[in-house]
Structure 1
Amino acid sequence: MFKYLFKRDTLFATLAVFLVMGMFAFLPINTHFLDPIHLALSDFDYNDLAYSKMDKNKDTPTDTNIVIVNIGYGNRQDIAAMIGKVAAQQPKAIGVDVLFNEKKDPVGDSLLLKLFSTNAKLVTAFNYTATNNKGYFYTQSINKGYANFVGEEEGVIRHFTPHLEEENLSAFAAQVVKQADPESYQALIKRNKLTETINYTRKADKYVVINGMDLINGKADSSLFANKIVLVGYVASTINDVEDKHFTPMNEKYTGKSLPDMNGIFIHANIISMIQSHQYIHHLPAWLMWAIAFLLCWLHMALFIKDYLENHIWFHLIAKIAQIISAVFFVYLGLLSFHQFNTQMNMTATLAAIILAVDVLYFYEAFAIWLHKKKGFKTIFTHGKHN
């Protein structure tokens, strides 16, 4: 293998692989016949397997810094009473993940308006939309943040946008952290990321949840809220209740999902946990992943050329086995990096290069022999017959 590593043909064949990859990327090829596959895999990321198969963050303890109040089907007067009970205990911040798109109950609206316009620890949620309808209490609220997640229209929620610089708006979870933990918020902003990958560390059962109606009726211990971050929002009562639920990587069914698995309030809670703990998902730079892809393709090409010239009768079998082993190994390596080090390695270019290497080698051999005959190009493919 190594005697072919620095051969000119090995380098040129490797370059040919990336040339073909570039052609596939830019040529307008009709791939409508692949639409069913595209639809099936549109919400799939192999890193999700770190959650469903490798139990990423399974043993993470309950986050006792966050308490969630379930509003259930309470009306606006009920929600105002819940917020009042929480505020009386001096929490660090209160995030209200409820969309009040229009005025409804005069008494309830009045109570909420007073809370949102006077309590600096309160953060209200709104949807950032093209119609610019930010809700009934938007202008009167002291603090607010957009509750939108990246990709919520298409499938699995893996990312969020921390801040929109041009409009000076922050995500709901980020705005809550800003009130409770300004240093962690500034650390998030200094990362200067357009989008952040959410590090899901906890399912719903790893957060403290209080029933809002119990809180109003004095059946819940309100002292739990003191010096805590409190999120007020809807929590589904059953697994089949999909109101305000989304698909996340923590879904046990990582393909062919039938039911969303997590309420928005818990996604916000996971984001807050991530920001406060500074346990962000890191991404290796694209240039590094392409460099790794080129190096690994070069090594594989040297192996393939060796077997092609010296052991041709077994070439196809050896090449396919090598491709399968490499594909499994590099997918596992990416999963291990994500699971253990919260680092995403995009191995797509590497896998594509290794898969294409054998077929491109055939074309390169024919081209090299043609150049040899026409232009006297020196190539190792003219030295004798294949064994």
Structure 2
Amino acid sequence: MFKRFWLETIYGLFFILVLAFLVSQVTAFKIFDVFDPIGAVFEDMESTDIVFSQLREDPLAEENLILINIGDLPRSGIADMVNIINSAEPKVIGMDMVFKYPKEDTLGDLKLSDAFSRVENLVMYSKLLNVDDDDDFDSLEVSYPPLFGYGETAFVNFITGAADQDDLKMCREFAVSESVKGQEELAFSVKIAQHMDSAKVARFLARDKDVEVINYRGNIFDYGATEYAISYFALDWYQVLNMEFAPELIKDKAVIFCYMGSELGDRKALDDKYFTPLNKNYVGKTHADMFGGVVHANAFSMIMSESYINEMSENIGYILALVILYLNIVLFTVIYKVMPKWYDGLSKLIQLIEAAALFSLGLFVFNSFNYKIDTTLSIVAVLIVGDALEVFFGVFVNLFTKEGRKELRELKKL
């Protein structure tokens, strides 16, 4: 009897795994997508978004970086701002914008070129283009070299999964570095951090991860456009041109010039804007909530504070789900054999409690230790085991017992 019990649990495990595989093959063809409007709403959400947007305490403001909004200024205006900021002796200036071609305003181009030439540590925009057969990028989009080929370049690309500008641009992570024709190109935030503290960046690169999850800190003050913690100080274009700031604010800091609307708080600006986990409307998002320059700033802060997010490997996720599945098979088999009348109610109650516990565990670990454990497979295992095991005993096992086959024959006689 004891041996039969354990054999049944093992057979039950294989039955559920085969059943799950068959279901996954059917859903891979997206046959049921038309019946899943709720799934479409949740598909861009991760449970850890709740931690960022609801559970975490507001972090301290970033003291090593200042953001500058270029607004809709022409190149001559940007040149004036670069000269003003550069005179305050920042440690590094990053330009999160591209100047691809000369303009008809030749004087403006020359002014901007001259301004760039005066910056000691300058990081210029580059954009990765066209993946080749070896998964390397074959080219970079950069500013017009004869005029603006100063400083170093670093790529501004984010990992969003968006195929075009109309798609949801959800930014949770970024590539640390990429190979372009055999040459390494660092991410924009990494290159700027390297000028601030090369030792910290060396430790960051030593993690040897191709992709890093951004440990978001917060946003700029945007006059009520969002509800985030104010973690980054930003100057608007007119504040810089009118010298409405103390030079001490800039000295020895990292400065990023970027677009953040016609002026700070511009709610109509959509260019270079992304959805992030900080969005409090994490289900069915309607408005992108963070400009690209601020996303770079969050990645920079993560590197400078060395507060990284580590992730559980995919293989461990599979093993954890398999262990939880088998333990539940053993438990539910006992209930099925000993208390059959209680099976449906008890199994559903246990499934709900376990699923809630696993979901809460993922949030707790992420919030407390910056460690991302993927409990999705484990929760799925918990939610399917009760009904799947009932099918196993009610159909599969009965087919291989004399009593079960006898009942089928009697049914045929009716």
User: If the TM-score is normalised by the length of the shorter chain, which range does it land in?
Assistant: 0.7 to 0.9
Partner residue in 2 for 1:242: 269
Relative contact order (alpha carbons < 8 A, sep ≥ 6): 1 or 2 greater?
1
Letter in 1 for 2:129: T
Matched, 1:43 2:70: no
Rounded to whole Å, the distance in 1 between the matches of 2:258 and 2:360 is 38
Distance 1:258 1:89, change over 3 A: same
Partner residue in 1 for 2:106: 106
> Structure 1: which 5+ runs fail to align?
375-387
Partner residue in 2 for 1:156: 170
Distance 1:178 1:240, change over 3 A: same
Do the aligned partners of 2:125 and 2:143 also contact (CA within 8 Å) in 1?
no
Partner residue in 2 for 1:377: none
Matched, 1:178 2:187: no
Counterpart of 2:206 (choices 173, 183, 190) is 190
- RMSD over aligned Cα atoms: 2.5
Partner residue in 2 for 1:8: 7
Partner residue in 2 for 1:92: 91
Do the aligned partners of 1:43 and 1:156 also contact (CA within 8 Å) in 2?
yes
TM-score by length of 1: 0.88
Deviation of residue 42 (structure 1)? Answer: 2.8
Do the aligned partners of 2:93 and 2:119 also contact (CA within 8 Å) in 1?
no
TM-score by length of 2: 0.82
* Aligned pairs for 1:1-387 within 5 A: 7-27=6-26, 28-29=28-29, 30-34=31-35, 36-54=37-55, 56=56, 58-104=57-103, 105-116=105-116, 119-130=119-130, 132=139, 134-137=141-144, 140-151=149-160, 153=162, 154-165=168-179, 166-204=182-220, 205-236=230-261, 237-238=264-265, 240-243=267-270, 244-365=272-393, 366-371=395-400
Do the aligned partners of 1:126 and 1:144 also contact (CA within 8 Å) in 2?
yes
Rounded to whole Å, the distance in 1 between the matches of 2:350 and 2:35 is 27
Distance 1:356 1:224, change over 3 A: same
Do the aligned partners of 1:5 and 1:302 also contact (CA within 8 Å) in 2?
no
Partner residue in 1 for 2:133: none
Moved more, 204-213 or 326-335: 204-213
Moved more, 31-40 or 272-281: 31-40
Paired residues, what number? Answer: 370
Letter in 2 for 1:194: D
Do the aligned partners of 1:89 and 1:226 also contact (CA within 8 Å) in 2?
yes
Distance 1:4 1:97, change over 3 A: farther
Rounded to whole Å, the distance in 1 between the matches of 2:95 and 2:71 is 13
Do the aligned partners of 1:200 and 1:271 also contact (CA within 8 Å) in 2?
yes
Rounded to whole Å, the distance in 1 between the matches of 2:3 and 2:347 is 16
Distance 1:108 1:35, change over 3 A: farther
Q: Provide the secondary structure at the position in 2 that maps to 1:293.
A: helix
Rounded to whole Å, the distance in 1 between the matches of 2:76 and 2:39 is 46
Do the aligned partners of 1:18 and 1:353 also contact (CA within 8 Å) in 2?
no
Deviation of residue 133 (structure 1)? Answer: 6.4
Q: Provide the secondary structure at the position in 1 that maps to 2:193.
A: helix
Q: Provide the secondary structure at the position in 1 that maps to 2:63.
A: strand
Do the aligned partners of 1:48 and 1:250 also contact (CA within 8 Å) in 2?
yes
